Structure formats: structure tokens, C-alpha cells
Amino acid sequence: MNQKYDVVIIGAGAAGLMSAIEAGKRGRSVLLVDHSKKIGEKIRISGGGRCNFTNLYTNPSKFISQNPNFMISALNQYTQYDFIELIKKYQIKFHEKKLGQLFCDESAQQIIDMLLLECKKSEVTLKKETHVLDISKKDNSYITNIGSEIIFSNSLIIATGGLSIPKMGATKFGYDIAKKFDMKLVETEPALVPLTFSDKFLLKCKELTGLSLDSIISLNKNSFKEGMLFTHRGLSGPSILQISSYWKLGNEIKINLSPNFDIYQFLINKKETNPKQDITTLIAEVIPKRLSISICRDQRIGGNISELSNKLLQKLSNSINNWSVSPTGSEGYRTAEVTLGGIDTNELSSKTMMSKKHNGLYFVGEVVDVTGHLGGYNFQWAWSSGYVAGINA
Ligand SMILES: Cc1cc2nc3c(=O)[nH]c(=O)nc-3n(C[C@H](O)[C@H](O)[C@H](O)COP(=O)(O)OP(=O)(O)OC[C@H]3O[C@@H](n4cnc5c(N)ncnc54)[C@H](O)[C@@H]3O)c2cc1C
């Protein structure tokens, strides 16, 4: 059976839903297709079930892309305040957790329900559990084959997301379509992902599993001050997830386990004022006790501080304020929150998200080579890019 819509959207995640709502508002007939049984699964599980839906401080510096200016237009056309307005219209209560990160007070499901209701108001036709068998183009029409129907449309929006969490329905569909239409891709990699280690350092992580503390993690010019967590595979927590987006195999990362304290200065002062104090106990005043014991043991340092040379204290301080570690990998797409890389932004108009080569073909959301830092930026990119395609398709 043949069908005709103005706009077909593949992928009913954050970006696809937003595109559908906006295109529908303009009176366009919209078909939104997803292969999953449940809509908006990533929204549902995000932010620990409360969805960190945007960030008050959204700006281009919070995104990674081969073109660091590409996201500016979309972020300006649909800002964090526009999404906040929508949330307020639906009386969804929210709060700032920290660093401008906005979360629902109650549940991420409220955002999904809101988006689905908006789709309904915009008279969007939603087809769940629908597999796209083929996409082609003839004259000025895109032809989407879903087996039971062949759908013709003037516009086609690809919103199939990245590769992270395959068990939640992530596929390489968007990248395959881009290749089919002769568009370039930037190599993809898991990002916002825990880092893994081997050998001696892995044993340390296992020993300290469950321990979390505030830290500054740095790699080249990038540095993040947030929580860090030891796990039985390596290191995780917000600061590690952030740096993982910049980390490449072979890179060493620096960890400051005591961001608010110059440990050397602290120890020198203590040596004068409290010479009989045990070094492990002293260090435990500024970092968790388990970590203090582990570091002093590794450095073979113990006893009263007065018995330790300043050189030894300097070495010990360095291992706390300036610890160098070399990850051997990451947990990969299985646990990564997002995918770096994707559709090369050179292929798209930053004003409309439309392909420069193919009139009517749009790519939005995570499938594009735009990746946000942790903190609500990835959803804001999905809302902004989805909106822009929706008002143009
Ligand atoms: C555990 C976790 C927590 C996160 N928390 C946050 C957070 O709090 N804040 C934040 O900003 N970001 C967060 N993110 C990132 C955020 O979820 C994504 O960046 C965002 O969902 C991307 O939106 P999207 O619409 O581009 O892709 P997706 O949300 O991934 O949607 C893609 C849709 O396409 C469908 N699809 C895929 N392939 C096909 C196909 N072949 N045929 C039909 N349909 C297909 C999928 O089923 C899916 O519904 C989190 C991610 C994860 C994994």
C-alpha cells in the first residue's frame, strides 16, 4: 500500500519527537516511526529517572564537534529557556541540582508524556515497533519502505541517535543512510563512559571499589571538577565521564584527589605544629581513610610525620594532588551515555539541519557529530536541532 506524508521522521527519541511536534504545528502531515515498543526510553532512564533535561548555562563551549561553531544556530533558535517554558506550561516541577543542571522533581516520564501529548496536538501519526526496510529517493520524493506500506514524503528526518546502549534500541541506521546518500561521517566512539584499567592499577580500583570523592581530572587543556568513583573495572563518576569524551588510547590523565588542598603545604605545616602525628591519619583528614591507607602503603610511607623527609612528603603529595594514570580502555557503547562523531557537520546546514547535497533530507540529535558534556547538554542539542529541522521540513 502506498501512503503520502509531508514529513517522515525515523526515530522517536528526544530529537525526533521535537521535530515531529514542530513540523505538525505548521500543519504538515507527519509520520514518526520507531522500531522500539516503548517511546523515549533514553529519556525515561536519563538522570537516574529524573531526566537532566537541559542546562541553564548551555553554550557552544559545552559541545564537542569537528566544527565547534556548528551548534550555535540551532542552540540560538531554540534555547534552554524555550524548553523550560514548555516544561512550565505542563506544570512539570523541576530543580537545579548543581552547575545549572535542571532535573524533574518527580519523574522523567512526565517529559515523555508531555512530548507525546504535544505530538497528539500536532496530529502526528506515530508508528511504534515498525522496522524500516529501505529508504530511497526518486525525483523529489523520499520513499520509506516499512514492509506493510511504502511511504512517500517530501521531507525525511533521520533522528535515530547514536550507538550507545544497544540493548535500548540503538542502531547504526542513521550512519548507513548517510553513507547511502554519499554523505561523510566522522568516526564514532563511545563517550561519557567509565574508563577501564589493567594490571596493578586495576587491583587498586578493585580494592577501593565503591569509594567516591570530589576530584579534578585533567587531560591537556580540559579539566573537570566533579565526583569520581572507584569501580571493580576502573574509574567512573561525573569527572571521569566528562574526561572520557576527550581521552584517546595512550593518553595519561591527571587526577587531583584533593582539589581544595595543597597537600604538601598542609603536611609541612603539620610537621611543624604536630610532629608526632601519624602520616596516614593526617592524610585521612583530607581524603577518605581507605584511600589514605592505600596510598601510604603503596608509597611505603608510615610513622610520625617528623620522621619523613620533605622530599618524601613532596612525593606523597604529588601522588594525591597530581596523580597520573593511564586507562587501557573504556566500558564501550554498552554503558556509554553518548556517541562522539557521526554525520559530518560539513554535510549539513547549521541553520536548518538539512543536507547540503539532498534537498529535504535532515539529520538531528545525537546521530550528528555534535556531542555535549555531561549535564543536560545532550538533550538540549536534541531539542534544538529537532526544533530547527521541524520548522523547516
Ligand atoms: C543512561 C543514559 C543517561 C542519560 N542521561 C542524560 C541526561 O540526564 N541528560 C542529557 O542531556 N543527556 C542524557 N543522556 C544522553 C541522551 O539520552 C541522548 O543524547 C539523547 O537521547 C539523544 O537523543 P536522540 O533523539 O538523538 O537519540 P535517541 O534518544 O537515542 O533516540 C533514537 C531513537 O531512534 C530509534 N531507532 C534507532 N534505530 C532505529 C531504526 N533502525 N529504526 C527505527 N527506529 C530506530 C530508537 O529506538 C530511539 O527511539 C543519557 C544517555 C544515557 C544512555
pLDDT at 249: 96
C-alpha grid cell for residue 262? 595543597
Share the mean pLDDT of the chain: 97
pLDDT at 1: 87
Residue with CA nearest ligand 1 atom 23: 14
Sign of CA dihedral 143, 124, 12, 389: positive
pTM for this model (two decimals):
0.97
Ligand 1 pocket test: pick from 378, 381, 387 the residue with the most ligand atoms within 8 Å of its Cβ.
378
Residue with CA nearest ligand 1 atom 30: 161
How far is it, in rounded angstroms, from Cα 156 to Cα 381?
Answer: 19
Q: Which of 330, 354, 377 is the last residue of a domain?
A: 330
Q: Do 119 and 217 belong to one domain?
A: no
Q: Do 372 and 252 belong to one domain?
A: no
Q: Do 232 and 355 belong to one domain?
A: no
Q: How many domains does the chain have?
A: 2
Strand order in the sheet with 212-219: 323-325, 253-256, 212-219, 222-230, 234-236, 195-196, 329-330
Q: Do 40 and 177 belong to one domain?
A: yes
Q: Is the Cβ–Cβ distance between 60 and 370 less than 8 Å? A: no
pLDDT at 21: 98
Q: Is the CB of 171 under 6 A from ligand 1?
A: yes
Average pLDDT score over residue span 14-34: 98
Q: Do 61 and 147 belong to one domain?
A: yes
Average pLDDT score over residue span 110-138: 98
Q: Is the CB of 169 under 6 A from ligand 1?
A: yes
- Closest atom of ligand 1 to 130 CA is 43
Label residues 329-342 b or e (16+ Cβ within 10 Å = b): bbbebebbbbbbbb
pLDDT at 255: 97
pLDDT tens-digit map of 70-117: 999 999 999 999 999 999 999 999 999 999 999 999 999 999 999 999
Q: Do 141 and 17 belong to one domain?
A: yes
Residue with CA nearest ligand 1 atom 3: 46
Q: Do 199 and 185 belong to one domain?
A: no
Q: Is the CB of 100 under 6 A from ligand 1?
A: no
Question: How do 150-158 and 2-10 pair as beta strands?
Answer: parallel
299 or 122, which is more confident: 122
Q: Do 98 and 160 belong to one domain?
A: yes
Q: Is the CB of 360 under 6 A from ligand 1?
A: no
Length of the chain: 393
Q: What is the CATH number of the domain that holds 294?
A: 2.40.30.10
Q: Do 320 and 365 belong to one domain?
A: no
Q: Do 29 and 174 belong to one domain?
A: yes
Average pLDDT score over residue span 45-63: 97
Question: Ligand 1 centre and the CA of 353: distance in Å?
Answer: 18
pLDDT tens-digit map of 309-368: 999 999 999 999 999 999 999 999 999 999 999 999 999 999 999 999 999 999 999 999
Helix ranges restricted to H, 274-368 = 279-283, 289-298, 310-321
Q: Which of 291, 311, 330 is the last residue of a domain?
A: 330
Q: What is the CATH number of the domain that holds 179?
A: 3.50.50.60
Confidence of residue 262 (pLDDT cuts 50, 70, 90): very high
What range defines the domain where residue 113 resides? 2-189+334-390
For residue 103, the Cα-to-chain-centroid distance in whole angstroms is 15
Residue type, 69: N
Q: Which of 282, 310, 330 is the last residue of a domain?
A: 330
Q: Do 172 and 226 belong to one domain?
A: no
Q: Which of 339, 340, 338, 325 is nearest to 375 (CA)?
A: 338
Q: Do 296 and 221 belong to one domain?
A: yes
Q: Is the Cβ–Cβ distance between 137 and 152 less than 8 Å? A: no
pLDDT tens-digit map of 198-252: 989 999 999 999 999 999 999 999 999 999 999 999 999 999 999 999 999 999 9
- Closest atom of ligand 1 to 12 CA is 49
